[in-house]
C-alpha cells in the first residue's frame, strides 16, 4: 500500500514538473516572438537624433560628436563563430555634450590596444540596446587590465570618470572591418515551441503509463 502511494506521488510530481516546464517554454516563446518583432521594427526604423532621454531598445539613432579613445573599454565577447575576443566600447560625447557608450564592434584578442587610428570627430549611425546584465557565472571586471565581462555604471564611472545611459549604441558601418561592427538581425534561435511540445508529451506519456499500470494491476 505504501509503495502504491509513493508511486502515485512520484507520478503526480513528475507530471506537474513537466507540465510546468512546457508552460514556461510557452512564456519563453511569447517573449522571443516579442523580441524578434521589436528587432524587426528597429531595423526598419528611420534613425532619429540621439538624446540621453531615449530608452527604447532597438531604436536606430544618429549622432555627431567626438570619440574619447583614451577611456576605451574592452568587453570580453565571442564572435559568431565562437572565437574569443573583445567588443570595443568607446565613450562618445555628442555635440550637445551628452555622453554615450558606442559598441564599435568585435576584435580578436591580439588586436587589443593595437587598433587602427580613426578621426575622433565623426557622425555615426547605430542602434540602441540596453547593456547586458550580469549573471551568477559572470566574472568580476579587471578594470586595471581593462578586461571587462559586464558593464555596470559604478565600474564605468570609476574607470572613465564619466556617467552614461544604461543604453549602448551599436555602430552600423559596413565599411569598417576592424573592429567588426556587430550585426543585429532577427535570425535568433527560437525552439521554444518544440521544447514545450516535448515536455507536454513526456507528461502525457507518464499519465498513460500510470493509467495502463492501474488498469493491469
Q: What pLDDT, in 10s, does the model give residues 189-213?
A: 788 889 988 988 888 888 888 777 7
pLDDT at 3: 66
Mean pLDDT of 20-46: 86
d(CA 101, CA 90): 6
Mean pLDDT of 44-71: 87
Strand partners, 93: 66, 99
**506521488: which residue's cell?**
9
pLDDT at 24: 93
**576592424: which residue's cell?**
178
pLDDT at 103: 93
Please, where are the H alpha helices in the chain?
A: 2-44, 153-160, 192-215
Q: Which of 106, 96, 88, 87 is nearest to 66 (CA)?
A: 96
* Local confidence band at 136 (pLDDT 50, 70, 90 cut-offs): confident
More confident of the two residues 8 and 139? 139
CA angle 195, 197, 199 (to 5 degrees): 70
Do 11 and 199 meet the contact criterion of CB atoms below 8 Å apart? no
- Grid cell of 76 as nine digits: 570580453
Do 94 and 65 meet the contact criterion of CB atoms below 8 Å apart? yes
Q: Mean pLDDT across the chain, nearest whole number? A: 84
Q: What pLDDT, in 10s, does the model give residues 146-194?
A: 888 988 888 888 888 888 888 889 998 777 778 888 887 777 778 888 9
The region, left, alpha or beta by phi > 0 then psi within -120 to 50, assigned to residue 159 is alpha
More confident of the two residues 205 and 115? 205
Do 73 and 92 meet the contact criterion of CB atoms below 8 Å apart? no
**560628436: which residue's cell?**
65
Q: Which stretch, 55-59, 60-64, 206-210, has highest mean pLDDT?
A: 60-64
Amino acid at each position: 500500500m505504501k509503495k502504491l502511494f509513493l508511486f502515485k506521488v512520484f507520478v503526480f510530481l513528475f507530471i506537474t514538473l513537466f507540465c510546468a516546464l512546457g508552460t514556461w517554454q510557452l512564456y519563453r516563446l511569447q517573449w522571443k516572438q516579442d523580441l524578434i518583432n521589436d528587432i524587426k521594427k528597429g531595423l526598419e526604423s528611420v534613425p532619429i537624433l540621439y538624446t540621453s532621454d531615449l530608452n527604447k531598445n532597438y531604436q536606430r539613432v544618429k549622432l555627431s560628436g567626438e570619440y574619447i579613445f583614451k577611456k576605451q573599454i574592452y568587453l570580453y565577447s565571442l564572435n559568431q563563430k565562437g572565437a574569443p575576443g573583445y567588443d570595443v566600447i568607446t565613450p562618445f560625447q555628442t555635440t550637445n555634450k551628452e555622453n554615450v557608450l558606442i559598441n564599435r564592434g568585435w576584435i580578436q584578442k591580439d588586436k587589443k590596444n593595437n587598433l587602427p587610428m580613426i578621426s575622433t570627430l565623426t557622425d555615426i549611425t547605430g542602434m540602441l540596446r540596453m547593456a547586458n546584465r550580469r549573471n551568477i557565472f559572470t566574472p568580476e571586471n579587471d578594470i586595471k587590465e581593462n578586461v571587462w565581462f559586464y558593464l555596470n555604471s559604478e565600474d564605468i564611472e570609476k574607470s572613465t570618470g564619466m556617467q552614461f545611459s544604461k543604453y549602448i549604441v551599436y555602430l552600423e558601418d559596413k565599411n569598417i572591418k576592424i573592429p567588426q561592427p556587430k550585426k543585429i538581425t532577427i535570425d535568433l534561435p527560437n525552439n521554444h515551441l518544440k521544447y514545450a511540445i516535448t515536455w507536454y508529451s513526456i507528461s502525457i506519456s507518464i499519465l498513460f503509463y500510470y493509467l495502463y499500470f492501474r488498469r493491469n494491476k
